[in-house]
Amino acid sequence: MPKRRGGADEPLVYTSKVTSKLQVTVPKALAERYGIHPGSVVEWQAEQGFLRFLPPGRRRAPQLEIGERLRLLRESRARQREREAAAGDIASPGDSQEAGGNGEELDAPGRPR
């Protein structure tokens, strides 16, 4: 039977027991809702101290590492500056540093995510 942790606006929480063979039973209501049947292939992801269970057809694209994300951000900003310069909308290269930095602030320790 699902339970709510907290108030009425909290999501339902289902529980399952792990067997000695490390098997887990998917609650029937969830299996029906997400199309999980015997023989279905599901995906488990370990992410930031949590396990994520992805039913068939709901797999996410792999997350990019922070370095790759920053590289893409810098490239995107450079393209935007080029578009703005072509349109005559940019004052000077120094202004973009003041407004948005170079993306390194995203690496700052203790920054909330």
Residue position matching structure tokens 């396990």: 51
What is the tens place of the pLDDT at every residue in 1-17?
A: 556 555 556 677 888 99
Amino acid at 12: L
Residues 46 and 13 in one domain: yes
Residues 11 and 38 in one domain: yes
Buried b / exposed e over 60-79, threshold 16 CB at 10 Å, is eeeeeeeeeebeeeeeebee
Residues 71 and 44 in one domain: no
The token duo for 84 is 């703005």
Q: What is the CATH number of the domain that holds 12?
A: 2.10.260
Give the range of the structural domain holding residue 91, as residue numbers without chain letter. Answer: 66-107
The residues near 72 (Cβ < 8 Å, ≥ 6 apart) are 64
For the chain, the domain total comes to: 2
- Does 34 map to a domain? yes
Q: What's this model's pTM, rounded to 2 decimal places? A: 0.43
What is the tens place of the pLDDT at every residue in 46-93?
A: 888 898 888 887 766 667 788 888 999 999 999 999 998 988 865 555
User: Which helix (H) or strand (E) is 61 found in, with range?
Assistant: none
Q: What distance in Å separates the CA atoms of residue 70 and residue 72, rounded to the nearest whole number? A: 5
- Does 112 map to a domain? no
- Does 113 map to a domain? no
